[in-house]
Amino acid sequence: MDWGSDSGLKLRMAVALSLVVVLPVAFVYTFVFAMNTVGVALLEWATERPWNGRFYVKPWLAVGGVAVGFLAQLLLGDRVALHAVDARPVDRDSHPELLARVDRLAQTAGTESPPVAVSRSTVPNAFAVGPRPSNATVVVTEGLLDTLDDDELDAVLAHELAHVTNRDVTVMSLSYFLPSLTYGMAVVAFLILKGMFHLVGNAHYADDDANKGLVVALAVIVVSAVITAAISVLFWVASFLLFRTLAQYREYAADRGAAAITGDPLALASALRTVDDEMSELPDRDLRAVDGGLEALYVAPIDDYKFGDGDRELISSDIFPATHPPTDERIERLQELAGESA
Amino acid sequence: MTSRRRFLASLGALVTGGALAGCGYRPGGGDFRWREESLRGLYRSDEVDVSGETLYTVADEDQSYDVEEETWRNGGRVIAYDTAGGSERYREQFDKRADVVGAGAGDVAVSLEHSDTGLAGDGDARHAVARLGPDGKQWEISVDDAVEQLAVADDRVYVVTDAGTLLACADGEVRWRRESYDLGVAPPDRRPSVRVGAGPAGVVLADGGEPVRVAPDGTERWRRTDVSLVQQVLEVGSQRVVVADETTLYALAADSGQTRWSSRPTGGRYYRTSGGFYRVLGDAVHALDDTGGTRWTWEGLARETNVAASETDVFVRTGTGLTALSADDGSRRWTVEYDRIDAGPFLVDSGVLVASGQTATCHIP
């Protein structure tokens, strides 16, 4: 089934995907640049010897390393996601009606029926994982099964099938590689810095030579950690911005796909409203504790950026888009789609 | 180990090896190849020279305890170090004072003199010459008079004594001798002049300032009476002999002594390197071309410097340390700071070598 293409969206996607590939390589060479400027000066100071050479990473290694990272993200991402939400695969004995729905919708969409897993979460939501459409898994929560009526559930499942058919899971897995990497490196750098301050506080000072050696070692580690953290944060912001922008593009496309499969855009609009209302009534726990990359896969947003009770936003959504477009806007578009098809 | 584990281990090793080959640190000019501190041979050494791939340090007087003889020995001392890594090859302690030193063909020759204490017993010669190579002392031979200059080439050590005798020594024997040469007295205000040079064409010496070539068989081949006041014998090749006097650099035909070319770059001290001839005057180094003309000049040398050069690089001591220049145009390539450099730079296979205090450092060119 073809639910229409958006040439503007395709162009934006092409640019964004190019950046997804280029940014990790740029991240590697930014580190190399830092090593050849600040790093070399630091080494000269610490070792009292010349460092006139250059640190290098050969392009084939940078590209190969990024490729391996992408591959790992693709191969392991679905297992991590399923484990994170405690989702178990279900069969026709335990959930015959659910699987029959998926079969029917997949047949309508002209695709293979994917395996289905159910999460024990009471938060109503759904997502799809898997590196390729042929081995994707659609995940729904028990909360979703309890909350939605038949048409709404069809619409949500169709939305996830559209994600599978559009290869959104693959795209989002790839685009989450750099945010994962930079986040991990920034955290490690922060922990090292924290450890250094504890070490300084608890150090028992010996003779001058030992103190000098300690100061040099601390300075090298602290400066290295600060630079690592700075570069990682810089690239985390850039890659996460890209990731979320991509996610928004994909949601609109999946909404259109769901409407085409079910022929009922308003059912998805109704499901989105229901899920959104239910989500806002539940406490900040459960799915919100899930890895940040997964949230982009849900049918409805689980993040709201807000600290505490006030209106302060963690990161302004004006410059840092959410993983999903505003639900009201999605509903509005679906209503327009229903008007067009009527 | 199962075949699957073995496969995964091999794959892991391959990936790790490949990754390591694809990244790292590519050393640049001036980086350390190796550094050895507290080298005994650099302590109070009068002469430090490199020949072949060996760093020789010669102290005129040193004392060591001979375990086998159970006695203290006083005299000159030679310690040889491997320039590939700075490890000590051997040390040789003499009973006589070491005096004149000559290096060449990977070896070093030293003259040995009994100090005037009357300790030299009957049959114990007052003057001697020893040749040492990378593996130790090769031979030692007595000579009648005090040695004034030494030159080493192939298996020969050419000795000029203060009595004006030229000796050709090999394998601990005197092969021939010629009398009545006068090297003159080196001016006291400059570094010792090298007025004897040796090579495949035999030996060339400045007899009264006039260049004279003596063939390896001991026959005098030519003498240039129109060239006077030769201070340096720079090259004794099979085709060409190069000498310099106070003002002029001469390239002479090895077989006839006829002038091939000469240039008047107005004095200074000359250095023959594997990358060509260089002249140092004041704080400037001048690169010379194949006919003695100046290709380029670079200013900023330390008061005392050696010049080591390959076909691509020139290494000199400057006020701030060791500096590498481009052999093409004299542009500065890099400088490594030193408080002081006591010997070098010397060009060796592994890099460029300098000694500072008791530390020897080999830099990547």
Residue predicted with more confidence, A242 or B174: B174
Residue with tokens 């300075």: A219
- Average pLDDT rounded to a whole number, residues A176-184: 83
Report the C-alpha gap between B131 and B139 in whole angstroms.
Answer: 6
Report the C-alpha gap between A114 and A134 in whole angstroms.
Answer: 7
Active site residue A329: no
Among A44, A48, A152, A160, the active-site one is: A160
Domains of chain B: 50-180 (2.130.10.10)
Please give the pLDDT value at position B198: 95
> Is the pLDDT confidence value at B108 over 50?
yes
SS3 B103: strand
**Residue B190 binned pLDDT confidence (cut-offs 50, 70, 90):** very low
Nearest residue to B77 (alpha-carbon basis) of B46, B106, B36, B51: B46
Nearest chain B alpha carbon to A29: B23
Distance from CA of A152 to the nearest CA of B (A): 48
Nearest chain B alpha carbon to A58: B22
| DSSP calls for A281-298 | HS-S-GGGGS-TTGGGGS
ipTM at complex level: 0.79
Record: contact A52-B28, CB cut-off 8 A: yes
**Residue A217 binned pLDDT confidence (cut-offs 50, 70, 90):** confident
List the structure tokens of A280.
Answer: 């806002």
**Residue B183 binned pLDDT confidence (cut-offs 50, 70, 90):** confident
Q: Which residues of B touch A64 (CB under 8 A)?
A: 22
Which of the residue ranges A276-285, A326-335, B82-91, B152-161 would you say has the lowest mean pLDDT?
Answer: A276-285
Report the C-alpha gap between B74 and A42 in whole angstroms.
Answer: 48
Q: Which residues of A touch B333 (CB under 8 A)?
A: none
Record: contact A58-B22, CB cut-off 8 A: yes
The count of C-alpha atoms lying within 13 angstroms of the C-alpha of A102, restricted to the half-sphere facing its C-beta, is: 25
Record: contact A51-B31, CB cut-off 8 A: yes
Chain-centre distance of CA A203, in angstroms?
41
Please write the tens of the pLDDT for every residue from B318-365.
Answer: 988 999 999 999 999 999 999 999 998 999 999 999 999 999 999 999
> Is the pLDDT confidence value at B32 over 50?
yes
Which of the residue ranges A16-20, A158-162, A197-201, B26-30 would you say has the lowest mean pLDDT?
Answer: A197-201
Phi, psi of A309 (to 5 degrees): -100, -15
Q: Which of A50, A52, A61 sits opposite B22 (nearest CB)?
A: A61
User: CB of A248 within 8 A of CB of A324?
Assistant: yes
Phi, psi of A210 (to 5 degrees): -65, -40
The answer, for B30 touching chain A at a CB cutoff of 8 Å, is yes
Distant-in-sequence, close-in-space partners of A81: CB < 8 Å, separation ≥ 6: A87, A127, A129, A139, A291, A294, A297
Please give the pLDDT value at position A183: 85
Spell out the domain ranges in chain A: 7-301+313-341
Report the C-alpha gap between A270 and B242 in whole angstroms.
Answer: 100
Residue with tokens 């000029």: B160
Residue with tokens 């003057």: B127
Mean pLDDT of chain A: 79
Report the C-alpha gap between B55 and B344 in whole angstroms.
Answer: 11
Distance from CA of A60 to the nearest CA of B (A): 8
Burial of B116 (0-12, 13-18, 19+ CB in 10 A): exposed
The answer, for B351 touching chain A at a CB cutoff of 8 Å, is no
Nearest residue to B95 (alpha-carbon basis) of B74, B110, B77: B74
Q: Which of B23, B313, B338 has the most A C-beta neighbours within 10 Å, making it the best mutation to test the interface with A?
A: B23
- Average pLDDT rounded to a whole number, residues A53-81: 87
User: CB of B307 within 8 A of CB of B313?
Assistant: no
Q: Which of B19, B23, B26 sits opposite A53 (nearest CB)?
A: B26
Which of the residue ranges A45-54, A146-155, A323-332 would you say has the lowest mean pLDDT?
Answer: A323-332
Q: Which residues of A touch B31 (CB under 8 A)?
A: 49-53
Q: Which of B22, B27, B35 sits opposite A53 (nearest CB)?
A: B27
pTM score over 0.80: no
Check residue B266 and give left, alpha or beta (phi > 0: left; psi -120 to 50: alpha).
Answer: left
Please give the pLDDT value at position A105: 93
Please give the pLDDT value at position B116: 59
| DSSP calls for B162-194 | TTS-EEEEETTEEEEEE---------TTSSPP-
Record: contact A51-B29, CB cut-off 8 A: no
Distance from CA of A335 to the nearest CA of B (A): 54
Q: Which of B14, B25, B26, B356 has the most A C-beta neighbours within 10 Å, making it the best mutation to test the interface with A?
A: B25
The answer, for B23 touching chain A at a CB cutoff of 8 Å, is yes
Strand partners, B65: B72
Q: Which helix (H) or strand (E) holds A95?
A: none
The answer, for B26 touching chain A at a CB cutoff of 8 Å, is yes
Count the neighbouring beta carbons within 10 Å of the beta carbon of residue A298: 28
List the structure tokens of A180.
Answer: 């994962």
Record: contact B29-A52, CB cut-off 8 A: yes
